[in-house]
Amino acid sequence: MDEETAFAAGRSRERLRGAGQLFDLLRTEIMSLKLAPGTVLSRLELQERFGLSSTPIRDALMRLQEEGLVDIFPQHATLVSRIDLRRAREAQFLRRSVEIEIVRLLAAAPDEQLVGQLRSIIRQQEAFAGLDEQEAFTARDELFHRVLYEAADVADLWQVVRRQGGHIDRLRRLNLPVAGKMQEIVRDHAAVVDAVAKGEPRAAEEAMRAHLSRSLGFADRLRDAHPDYFSD
């Protein structure tokens, strides 16, 4: 590889790193609703904010578009996508189907170390719920579920489900501040772990089904409260 080719390859890697870091940051802000549905994302403002050139900005936005988190209108604007309830239903169906099977498998062969790890995460969630630390609580919520995928040896599926979950996960995040919601999630997680620990696959399935079936039940109320956050 000559010097010019090596230099070009190095610059390409730098752009990818920049785009990846920007993607992660913007995705986090979108999922936490810091960047609310309908927010305009100015490429020039993003360049100034992050000190990046146009290429990593474009690459990051295209990745967000692939996940359905932004809508790009060429030569016009880029907007944070509004919550689409049809896509939310599809994502809920996918995640529920996968995770019901995961907990069934785990309950069929209980692992004490896994149970201990999950209960430790639940204790952390309880603490953050008591402090109303929603971002930290959400991070532990994601960790709880990701650990289940890893324990079932299907870790790559977590990324698949995560990529499809932008609309349902934002719906959940919008409902998180409701009084008692975090405590309800903690109880749901505890019910799943108890069933896994006891070696009860059917109970584990039902606990996970109940946990992942509630989100769309409050969609109408949230849409009435935040009409600008939802697509027609």
155-182 pLDDT, tens per residue? 999 999 999 999 999 999 999 999 999 9
Whether the per-residue pLDDT at 25 is higher than 90: the answer is yes
Q: Per-residue confidence at 39, pLDDT binned at 50, 70, 90?
A: very high
- Using CA of residue 9, residue 11, residue 12, residue 13, what is the dihedral sign? positive
Of the candidates 47, 75, 48, 76, which has an alpha carbon nearest to the alpha carbon of residue 59? 47
Structure tokens at 140: 């532990």
Q: Per-residue confidence at 17, pLDDT binned at 50, 70, 90?
A: low
Whether the per-residue pLDDT at 15 is higher than 90: the answer is no
- Specify the CATH number of the domain 85-229: 1.20.120.530
DSSP for 160-187 reads HHHHH-HHHHHHHHHHTTSTTHHHHHHH
Sequence spans of domains, the chain: 3-80, 85-229
Q: How far apart (Å, rounded) are the C-alpha atoms in residues 143 and 140?
A: 5
Structure tokens at 184: 């309800």
- Say which residue the tokens 């019901």 belong to: 100
- Specify the CATH number of the domain 3-80: 1.10.10.10
Q: How far apart (Å, rounded) are the C-alpha atoms in residues 177 and 172?
A: 10
Fold agreement between 3-80 and 85-229: no
Q: How far apart (Å, rounded) are the C-alpha atoms in residues 123 and 139?
A: 13
Q: Per-residue confidence at 8, pLDDT binned at 50, 70, 90?
A: very low
What pLDDT sits at residue 20? Answer: 84
Q: Span 76-94, mean pLDDT?
A: 95
